[in-house]
Structure formats: structure tokens, C-alpha cells
Structure 1
Amino acid sequence: MQEINTNRIPFMNTYVDSVTASEAKKLVDKFIHVGGSHYVVTPNTDIVVKMQDDPELKKICDNADLILTDGQIVVKLSRFLGNPIKERVCMTDFVWDVLDLAIEKNYKVFLFGGKEQTLKTATKNIKVKYPNLQIVDSYSPPFGFEKNSEQLRVANERIQNSGADILIVFLGCPKQEKFIYKNKDKYNIPISITMGGCVDYIAGGVNRAPKWMQEVGLEWFFRFLQEPKRMFRRYFVDDMRIFKMALKYKKR
């Protein structure tokens, strides 16, 4: 199989591919062309911290065909550590780049995951924006499907039989990464991409932060203001560990 250079560099406890969004879009196209079942992960602060406690997640992310940095804090810390990442590839923007690619190259897309009504609304919104896009299926599997052999079989067969070229997965971390890694060779789609909470933005249930907040790395705080109870522990307890990690790696 053809070797594809993704400009992979070390970042603290893992690796990332130092690419721009336009380079990432071209790489997705290349992976579709070379054959096989490839997958893309999109680490942000939360995922980098989760890898510290989850060796399986770390292994999956380290071995991904494409590792895109979906976090401005990660980009800023890469500069602090002296090995800068080119730019943040924000999934809530990059999802549209992937759909643009699908229209340009006539690729078929499968949307997978998210709450049923949210996914329906997101699919409808995508179809309004891209009437010529080939969405071959959108499916919200039952909660806990990955632990139920029959429901998992149904999901894999549905994806495989769709004839999709691109699988966009909205299951959240680490469920989406583990699902793709364990099942990509069963459903056999050219490329699978983790898109987590993007489905909420596409459906209109969550608003994007103003551009200036995105650029300075405060998009997480805007997200917190929308759902403070749900997001408090993640942002103010768990994710804060990344700064202690950065100091440890800086000393090395």
C-alpha cells in the first residue's frame, strides 16, 4: 500500500499530524484512493488528557492514519514546547471541508451516531446546504449498541451495505475511536472520521463561539457558558491537567 506522508510530530504523550485544514482535506482524498480501511482521529485538550488514563485510547490515536489537532490550546502548547503544530483543524469547520470534498469527488457519505432527533435535524440541515451531496444513510444506533453483539452486527452491516466512501462518526470520545478501531475492517469503508459533538452544532442545538474567542483558545469557555452544569467538571477539573502535563514535558 502507498505510504502517505502526514508530517507526524510528537506532542507530549502522543503524536499529531502538523497539517493545515486544506492539507488535511487533500490527505482524506488520498486515503480514499489508496484502498483499505483508514481512520482519522481529532484530539483536543480533553482527548489528550483522557489518553493519560486510557492506554487503549492512546494506542488507537497513536496508530491512526491521520491525527488532526482539534484544539487551539493544543496548538498553543505545541509552541510552548518548541515543536509547533501548523494550525488547529477545527472539526466544526472541517466537517464542511469533508462534505465539500464529497461533492467535488462524488463520494458517498454515511452519518453515524448522535441522538436520533439531533442526527435527523443535522442531516436535514446538511441536505439543505448541499442538495447534491450523496448522503447514503444516517443512523443513530441504540445506546450501548457497541456492547450488544446483535446491535453491533446490524450497525456494521448497515454501514458496509451502504457503499459509502466516508463514514462520519458522532459518538463522542472514547466511544467513537474505539468503535472505529474495532470495527473498521468489518464494515470496510475507505475512511472513517471522528467528529464527536459536531452533530450538535450542525443541528443548531449549540452555538459557535465568536471568532475572536476561537482564535485565542477560549471556545471551550463559550461552550461552558451554554451548559455550565454539564461542562464544569470536564473543563475546570479534568482538562486543566493538560497544563501540568505540559510543564512536565517542558522540563524533559
Structure 2
Amino acid sequence: MKTNILEVPFDNLTKEEALTKLLEFLDSNKNNLLVTPNPEIVMEANGDKELLKILSEADLVVPDGIGIILAGKIMKNKIKERVAGCDLIFSLFDKMKDTDKTVYLLGAEPGVAEIAKSNMEEKYKNLKIVGVHNGYFDEKEEELIIKEIQDLKPDILLVGLGCPKQEKWIYKNKDRLPVKISAGIGGGIDTMAGKVKRAPKIFQKIGLEWLHRLILEPRRIFRVKKIPLFLIRCFKARS
């Protein structure tokens, strides 16, 4: 069942239900796109028709951000729960760790994806990350990256180029990528590498992970300021 928030159709699923969906994707014969919009991305999509089209056509759209849950209440389109993209990917890794399913990481600064690979393979024993590449590449190198992915045929491609670049990159190359799941994960590779620390569990549980990030990175205030504007727009859309 879909829940529409400012034109973006969210799958109204719990984290466990979303994980089950991803496991089904792993047994499919197509490249399934996972997107994890937060309020900032929804606002971006409202001014970017290409991004909105991508989000609307994605195979799984989960609400990454407490602001999306609040928006559902405001618009009387209740969403079951927040499904943090990072948590969902880690849960998927846990399910994959003793299987033959494989992962490719694309994004972050040079050297970071290699550390992320090492950390994830240490944390999730027997997880198979078959390839990595940083997020700084030109058109010529892009073709080499795509060729490598075609040769390796990973089951999952995780792209950390920031929104909307990562979603547009995946969408543009979707038919050339022989994977089962493609997902834009923003700063997820930095998190896997330990470069960005996640909020304490209590902050995550009560939906204040954004506040923890703001305390650590005050420059994010310009991004956080979009949340009240997002909620105001939701109130207006309801009336």
C-alpha cells in the first residue's frame, strides 16, 4: 500500500516488511531500485521533475526521517514507522552474510569505500563485498566502473553520491547494471567506514538522529531549516 506525501509515494511498511521485500528482490530477475527519501529529498523532488519521476517509479520507497512520519500524521496518511535506510541495509547485510549474495560499493572520498568494505566484512562475517570505487570519477572512468560492475555482477549496488546525483546516476544506467538491488545511500559509505558516527541508540529511537548530526556538524543547520518548511507545506496540502 502506498502513502502519498507531497507527491512522493511511500511504501507503508515496517522495517521488517521492507526487509522481506528486499530479500524477495534478491531472488528476482531485474534491477530493483530502493530509495529512502527524507523531508529534504521530498522538498527537492517537488522542484525537480526528474527526481520526482525516479522516486515515483522506484520499486521500494521507505520513509527515512521522522519528518516523514510527522507529515503522514499532518496529512492524515499515517505511516507505520520510520525505516532508516542505513539500518535497513545493515539488516540486509546480516541476512546475506552466510550466503553467496554479493555487494558493490560506489561513492565517498578515495580510500573510504575500502575501509567500509573491511569494516562491514569484519562486522558481518562472510559478507561478500566484491568491489568498491570512490565517488570521484569522470565520464571515461564511469564507463570503466560500469564495465567492472557488469563483469562482477554483484547482487546489490550501493551508491553514495548524495541526492539527487546518486538516484539520477542509478536511473540513467539502470538497464546497464546487472544487479538485483540498486540503492542510493547518501553518506552511508562514510558511516560504514566509521568516518561519520551514528547517533546513540536513544537518539535513533526517539527520532532525533538529525539533532545529533546537527550538534556534530553545525553547518547542517541550512539543511535542517528545510524541515519546518516541509511541514508547513504538508499543512497547506491537507487544507
Q: TM-score, normalised by structure 2?
A: 0.94
State the alpha-carbon separation in 1 of the partners of residues 113 and 129 from structure 2. 13
Report the equivalent of 2:141.
151
Residue 204 (structure 2) pairs with residue 235 (structure 1): no
Aligned partner letter, 2:149: I
Cα deviation code 1:3-24 (max 9, x no counterpart): xxxx222122211001111111
How many percent identity over aligned positions? 35
Aligned partner letter, 1:244: I
The 5 Å alignment of 1:41-190 reads 41-143=35-137, 145=138, 148=139, 150-190=140-180
Aligned partner letter, 1:250: R
Report the equivalent of 2:196.
206
Does the 8 Å CA contact 2:38/2:68 hold for their aligned counterparts?
yes
Cα deviation code 1:200-219 (max 9, x no counterpart): 22211222223333233322
SS at the partner of 1:116? coil
State the alpha-carbon separation in 2 of the partners of residues 126 and 103 from structure 1. 10
Q: CA deviation at 1:80?
A: 2.1
Q: CA deviation at 1:151?
A: 2.1
Q: TM-score, normalised by structure 1?
A: 0.89
Does the 8 Å CA contact 2:155/2:180 hold for their aligned counterparts?
yes
State the alpha-carbon separation in 2 of the partners of residues 186 and 219 from structure 1. 36
State the alpha-carbon separation in 2 of the partners of residues 244 and 123 from structure 1. 40
Report the equivalent of 1:250.
238
Cα deviation code 1:154-177 (max 9, x no counterpart): 121111111211111111100110
Does the 8 Å CA contact 1:102/1:109 hold for their aligned counterparts?
no
SS at the partner of 2:120? helix
SS at the partner of 1:240? helix
Q: CA deviation at 1:42?
A: 0.5
Residue 16 (structure 2) pairs with residue 28 (structure 1): no
Cα deviation code 1:84-116 (max 9, x no counterpart): 111111122112112123225421111111112
Give the 4+ runs in structure 1 shifted more than 4 A. none
Report the equivalent of 1:196.
186
Aligned partner letter, 1:186: R
Aligned partner letter, 1:203: A
In 2 relative to 1, CA 104–24 (structure 1 residues): closer, same or farther, beyond 3 Å? farther
Does the 8 Å CA contact 1:72/1:214 hold for their aligned counterparts?
no
SS at the partner of 1:40? strand
Q: Report how many aligned residue pairs link the two structures.
A: 239
Q: CA deviation at 1:152?
A: 2.1
Aligned partner letter, 2:218: P
SS at the partner of 2:27? helix
Q: Give 5+ residue unaligned stretches, structure 1.
A: 1-6
Q: CA deviation at 1:53?
A: 1.3
Q: Give 5+ residue unaligned stretches, structure 2.
A: none
Cα deviation code 1:36-56 (max 9, x no counterpart): 121111101111111111111
Q: CA deviation at 1:81?
A: 1.4
State the alpha-carbon separation in 1 of the partners of residues 237 and 122 from structure 2. 46
State the alpha-carbon separation in 1 of the partners of residues 164 and 67 from structure 2. 20
Cα deviation code 1:124-152 (max 9, x no counterpart): 11111123111111111424x3xx2x222
